[in-house]
Amino acid sequence: MSPNDLRLEILGTSFTISADEERSYLEKLLQEYYLKVRDMQKSTGLKDPLKIAILTGFTLCDELHRVRHNAHATEEEEALQRTINLFARLDETIGKDKNGTVQALYFLENPVKHYEWGSPSWIPRLLRRENPTGEPWAELWMGVHPAAPSMLKNQPPKSLAQLIAADPPCFVGKEAAVNFGGLPFLFKLLAAARPLSIQAHPSKEQARQGWQRENAQDTPERNYKDDNHKPEILCALSPFTALCGFRYPKDIDFLIFTCFAAAPRSLQNGLAPLRAALTDGRGSPLRDFLAGLLGMPKELREQLTAYVSTEIRNPPEIDGSIWPLVQRLAKLYPEDPGILAPLYLNLIRLEPGQAIYLPEGILHAYMDGFGVELMANSDNVLRCGLTSKHVDLNELMNVLYFHPFMPDLLTDRPGAAPADPVFFSYPSPCKEFSLSVIRNLQGPFPLPGPAIIVVTAGRLAVSRAEAAGPDSDACWEFEPGGSAFIPPSPEPLILSGDFTLYAASIPAGR
């Protein structure tokens, strides 16, 4: 390298330039340029090296112009407006070029969670994968969650999170990029062979405050893993059993009375304060009941477990599946007051295609079944029982909604025959996500990107409507279990085949 050669390593690229100037002078220029680039990255938050370089050059031209014409410093606002206008023009020009490189869809390779409650068969069967050791496959995550992001298939190793972070407006749309900074939902397959813990999720405000509080206290056992709420919708792919929302106090009292009518006097006496809380008309019946239940002394919990385990009689006055479920829970979680959950929470049985939406503060526990689950990008869970994990009763009591709540049963094809094409979006009052099912629809993909799709049955072919771009002739084939990310595009994708797919997208205009 001659003394006048200078090596530039910047914005992910490197090359050497030659110049007549002194080396020390060139190095000084380079340092100044590095600083300008760094300031530009900081002030704009841009990640695209081309945009950063163009904008840095532009501001340098601006400085040069001012020096030459001795212009007065302009107002900050004016400068800001110029930058915004420039962004818009860059998006237009670079965006057009990019349409050549942004794919119409990206196949996903999704991480699996092997929680102990998972089913060894549902997810491997859908993906046609072997599971010789019979280990549980509990959840398959489709999204950008840092704990387990989806990877792009057939590409150099890259996660969906990295793809989107490189240019959020391009991959999730300008509005979502501004509102959420990226993809605002997490999409899952969930396969439960055994009950999950009883739990509830906080509101956005509770999560924000809890997150700040626990950060300040440096709490070892955290409730809040992030500052976001976690509304969720679950749609059954197989018959699915869930407990969800408090029953009416008088109904809870009736169930306890009926189930324990033949119990020893000491156990009945132990349960009497719980029944009184539900019926004496004072205080908040459900709050007082739950506080009493969770504060049950060990001796009473032992008696309760012993009685439930030995009393095989199914009380004839009540729904025949309630008592067997109590017994099943007592076997799995002896001495956990959560074994009475089927008596105080609604027992919901979903048929394939039916869904429930769970807003903040609603107690719920999935018992068994296979389904798709869609939620806001958060991991904030407050547990209430049927778990060996951390339970924080005080915080739980703060976030719970102590009123009877029966979720609407959302059904996917009102009036449609089994072979009819179906496109149905499950109603959910939440701005982060919308869950849709599409079955045998031959024609344009009916949702705006960004979306994640997963095929749960049959075969799907996807092609581009117009001949344009590098994959204009492309046709993408999906088998059951296949999933993909679809970025926003003005050009619709065309679906064909006999298939059922579930899609996660962002609801328009909310």
Q: How far apart (Å, rounded) are the C-alpha atoms in residues 390 and 312?
A: 32
3-state SS, residue 304: helix
Number of other residues whose CB lies within 10 A of the CB of residue 30: 16
* Dist. CA 507–CA 432, nearest whole Å: 7
Distances (CA, A) of 445 to 111, 124, 335: 26, 27, 51
Cβ contact 345:243 at 8 Å: yes
Q: CA distances (Å), 274 to each of 125, 281, 330, in order?
A: 45, 13, 19
| Closest alpha carbon to 242 in 347, 341, 322 | 347
383 in active site = yes
- Please answer whether residues 167 and 95 qualify as being in contact, where contact means their C-beta atoms are separated by less than 8 angstroms: no
Q: How are beta strands 475-478 and 13-18 bridged, if at all?
A: unpaired
Compute φ and ψ for 14, nearest 5 degrees.
Answer: -145, 145
Residues 6+ apart with CB under 8 A from 353: 235, 236, 411, 412, 413, 437
Select which of 194, 247, 275, 383 is catalytic. 383
**Spatial distance between the Cα atoms of 26 and 28, rounded to a whole number of angstroms:** 5
Which whole-number Å values give the CA distances from 472 to 104, 154, 182, 451, 469, in the listed order? 9, 18, 27, 20, 5
What residues are labeled active site?
383
